[in-house]
Amino acid sequence: MSDPTSYEALRREWTDQFVEVKAGIPELARFKGRVGRVVTVNHNRKALIDFADGGWYDITASTDYLTKLDPSVYKEKYDGTANSAQPFPAKQS
């Protein structure tokens, strides 16, 4: 069983952070250049990240995989309403 205090610290550190996936990790190359928001961290130490495309992706919550971004700069680049997974999505044309 994992230590609950270290999990809580990790969750507080990463939740609601704007992130980008680090370059050079082949299995995460599809996220290159995309800004995401960490929704939460699960008990497996994976950050659940919303890239505003309708899905959440679990990526290890570590600076080995993710780069935290300045929210004052990147909040404008992240559009949480850009996908169709909203309670009342805008009508599509």
> Domain of 43: which CATH number?
2.30.30.30
* Residue 84 domain flag: no
What is the rounded distance in angstroms from the CA atom of residue 2 to the CA atom of residue 57? 22
CB 61 within 8 A of CB 35: no
Residue 22 carries which DSSP code?
P
* Residue 69 domain flag: yes
30-72 residue pLDDT tens? 999 888 999 999 999 999 999 888 788 999 999 999 999 988 8
- Asked whether residue 81 carries a pLDDT value surpassing 90, the answer given is no
- Complete edge-to-edge strand list for the sheet that includes strand 56-60: 56-60, 46-50, 36-41, 18-21, 66-69
With bands split at pLDDT 50, 70 and 90, how would you rate the model's confidence at 2? low
* Residue 59 domain flag: yes
| DSSP β-bridge partners for residue 48 | 40, 58
